[in-house]
Amino acid sequence: MSALLASPIDLHCHSTASDGSLSPQGLIALAVERGVHTLALTDHDTTDGVAAAQAAAAEQGLKLIPGVEISVTWQQQVIHILGLNINPQQTDLQQGLMALDEQRHQRAEKIAQQLEKAGIKDALAGASVYAKGGTISRTHFAHLIVERGLARNVRKVFRHYLVRGKPGYVAGEWVSLEQALSWIHAAGGIAAVAHPVRYKMTRTRLKKLLTEFKELGGQGLEVVSGTHSRDDNFQMGMLAQHFGLWASAGSDYHGPEHFWQQLGAIPPLPDTCSPIWRHF
Ligand code: AMP
Ligand code: MN
Ligand code: MN
Ligand code: MN
């Protein structure tokens, strides 16, 4: 996709601080190249990339929205909550993210133990190399398994090793919806439910989630996502309107090797939507 076709606003992407493959500076350079003028950095459970992204954005005249994508366990299911326009220095938020980091390390150890039983040795050390000192995630184990020649690509690794029922799957114990929202609000941010279609919930269950989210003071829904189809975007636009939620839009960019999901490669919000960025 050419730069001209990219959306000027992209409120969801990942750097090497979590499971993205570009550094924060690299993301900013790419955003400039693609004509994205407002970018939110939303790494999984960390804001460690924000300062570097902000510095690079200031140099390039780009607006960087400090963000985070928090891992939540809601009714035995993992969901992701975006915190947008947060103060990354806020204490409650940082303490919460530190606890999540600890959870991630404990889970990574268990994943490695299980992979060891499946004949994959030293997986923790191997995955840590890919994590480059940032937040460790299943993606880093996936890269290692590809490197060892046990699967052709990351998607195949997930399917055969890292999802429920497979040898390297360990259910993460993340935080409650209430907790995630309280940290985001303490940090002065706006919370949005990320990529709602990805959870494969029934409409009834999704409505239950959004009802609870609203009751806890949640304000946004990621209507347009790089992981949604056009019809998904449209449907989520209707749902946002129904619940009175502000609409967010983000590519969920992880790096150039995920060629199907490029920075800024998202369509505009449906007309019915109230854009979340008006409230930053
Ligand atoms: P974690 O938060 O450590 O459980 O890892 C979740 C991350 O793994 C997501 O944010 C995606 O980047 C990646 N991921 C999850 N499922 C898949 C999949 N089927 N194929 C490729 N990447 C995936
Ligand atoms: Mn990810
Ligand atoms: Mn996500
Ligand atoms: Mn994401």
In this structure, is the dihedral angle defined by the CA atoms of residues 172, 176, 181 and 187, taken in order, positive or negative? negative
- Let me know: does 47 contact 76? Beta carbons within 8 Å: no
Ligand 1 binding pocket mutation candidate from 18, 19, 100, 259 (most atoms within 8 A of CB)? 19
Do the Cβ atoms of 46 and 74 come closer than 8 Å?
no
Contacts of 185 (CB under 8 A, 6+ apart): 191, 217
User: How does pLDDT run along the chain (280 residues), one tens digit per residue?
Assistant: 444 478 999 999 999 999 999 999 999 999 999 999 999 999 999 999 999 999 999 999 999 999 999 999 999 999 999 999 999 999 999 999 999 999 999 999 999 999 999 999 999 999 999 999 999 999 999 999 999 999 999 999 999 999 999 999 999 889 999 999 999 999 999 999 999 999 999 999 999 999 999 999 999 999 999 999 999 999 999 999 999 999 999 999 999 988 889 999 999 999 999 999 999 9
- Is the Cβ atom of 71 under 6 angstroms away from ligand 1? yes
The tally of CA atoms less than 13 A away on the side-chain side of residue 268 is 6
- Ligand 1, atom 18, lies closest to the CA of 155
Ligand 1 binding pocket includes 138 (Cβ within 6 Å): yes
C-alpha–C-alpha distance, residues 188 and 171, integer Å: 30
Could you identify the atom of ligand 1 that is nearest to the CA of residue 44? 2
The C-alpha atoms of residue 154 and residue 140 are separated, in whole angstroms, by 9
Query: So what's the pLDDT on residue 172?
Result: 87
Residue 245: per-residue pLDDT: 98
The separation between CA 13 and the C-alpha centre of its own chain, rounded to angstroms, equals 7
Q: Is 153 near ligand 1, meaning CB less than 6 Å away? A: no
CA distances in angstroms from 12 to 50, 106, 149, 174, 193, listed in the order given: 13, 26, 31, 20, 12
Helix and strand numbers, DSSP H then E, in the chain: 9, 7
Nearest CA to ligand 1 atom 22: 155
Give pLDDT, residue 44.
Answer: 98
137 lines ligand 1 (CB under 6 A): yes
